[in-house]
Amino acid sequence: MTEVTRVPLQPIAKGSLVKLWLGVIIAILAGAGLAWAAVPAGVKVDELTAGSGPNPAATDVVLVNYVGKLQDGTVFDEGQAVPLPLDQMIPGFAEGAVKMQKGGKYEMTIPSEKGYGAEDRRNPQTGEVVIPGGSDLVFEIEMLEFMSGEDYQMRMQMMQQMMQQQQQGAEGGPPGGPPQQMPGQPPQ
């Protein structure tokens, strides 16, 4: 049988155990700090004027007035009473919009990772760079209304039908039929 050489354990110096645990805690905190720094910054929504009621869902269509700017204040887009389907918007816009309420005014800052990323965005007609790659975006938004995607589609269909009826009325009646007689007019 083989015999193992026995090595006596040396006693730990006074205070060494405390130093060891402090080192472990510092290593854990440093690792957590590095992990936190590696996560992209989130969308920031500042409330300028309070809204009321519920928040839109990620699949809703929002009706907004907005101005989109770069960090230096350059305006790249704006609109009045624009319907925006959140499930078709850049991820940061949808993430911020679900934090808003009807009637409120907000400033939303979207980091480039949740916006257009590293690619330049160009004007399709001129080819000019409108949003340089890696740009954070700032939107001033007034939340006018929101509705489900299904409600929006139904309203759009109703509007199209009304426009067709108005157009037919302006042309003298339905295609192929007799002209409409207005009330109070003698028959033709």
- Residues 21-48 have pLDDT tens digits of 778 888 888 877 766 555 456 899 999 9
- Write down the domain spans for the chain: 44-150
- Does this model's pTM top 0.75? My answer is no
Residue 61 · residue 86 · CB < 8 Å: yes
Beta-carbon neighbour count of residue 157 at 10 Å?
10
Least confidently predicted of 15-24, 140-149, 168-177: 168-177
Cβ neighbors of 68 (< 8 A, separation 6 or more) are 75, 76, 77, 78, 137, 138, 139
Of 96, 12, 93, 83, the closest CA to residue 55 belongs to 96
Mean pLDDT over 95-100 rounds to 96
Per-residue model confidence (pLDDT) at position 2: 65
- Whether 172 has a pLDDT exceeding 90, the answer reads no
Q: Encode 38-62 in three state secondary structure.
A: HCCCCCEEEEEECCECCCCCCCEEE
Under a CB-based contact definition with an 8 Å cutoff, are residues 66 and 80 in contact? no
* Residues 136, 71 contacting (CB under 8 angstroms): yes
Q: Which range scores top for mean pLDDT: 97-101, 153-157, 161-165? A: 97-101
Sequence-ordered list of residues with C-beta below 8 angstroms from that of 99, at least 6 positions apart, any chain: 45, 55
Q: Is the pLDDT of residue 95 over 50?
A: yes
Question: Residue 184 pLDDT > 60, yes or no?
Answer: no
Rounded to 5 degrees, φ, ψ at 174 are -70, 150
User: What CATH class is the domain 44-150?
Assistant: alpha beta
57-83 pLDDT, tens digit per residue, is 999 999 999 999 999 999 999 999 999
pLDDT band at 182 (very low <50, low <70, confident <90, very high): very low
